[in-house]
Amino acid sequence: MIHVRPAPEQRQPLAAWAVAQSPKVRTAGPNTFAVPARLFPDMPESVLIGAEVDGYRYRPVSEDDAAGAPPPSDLLGVATAEGLAEHAAEQHTAEPEPPHVIAAPAGCAAPAPLPTEPPSDVIAALPSPRPAPLPTQGSGFPCDRCSRRFATKRGRNTHHRQKHSEG
pTM: 0.40
Please state which of the ranges 3-17, 47-61, 137-151 shows the lowest mean pLDDT.
Answer: 137-151
* CA-based R_g, the chain, Å: 37
Q: Which is nearest to 11 in space by CA: 51, 63, 56?
A: 51
How far is CA 81 from each of CA 85, 87, 91, 100, rounded to the nearest angstrom? 9, 15, 20, 26
Beta bridge partners of 57: 52
pLDDT band at residue 19, thresholds of 50, 70 and 90?
very high
**Mean model confidence pLDDT for the chain:** 78
Predicted pLDDT of residue 17: 92
> At 3, is the pLDDT very low, low, confident or very high (cuts 50, 70, 90)?
very high
pLDDT band at 80 (very low <50, low <70, confident <90, very high): low
What is the C-alpha separation between 6 and 145, in angstroms, rounded? 77
How many CB atoms are located within 10 Å of the residue 20 CB? Answer: 9
Q: Is the pLDDT of residue 135 over 90?
A: no
Residue 76 — pLDDT band, cuts 50, 70, 90? low
For residue 3, how far is the Cα from the chain centroid? Answer: 24
Contacts of the segment 146-149: beta carbons below 8 A, 24+ positions apart: none
What is the pLDDT, as a whole number, of residue 22?
A: 85
Half-sphere exposure of 83 (CA within 13 A, CB side): 1
Confidence category of residue 59, pLDDT binned at 50, 70, 90: confident
- Give the C-alpha separation, 91 to 94, whole Å: 10
> Which has more confidence, 17 or 96?
17
Of residues 104 and 39, which shows the higher confidence score? 39
pLDDT at 64 over 70: no
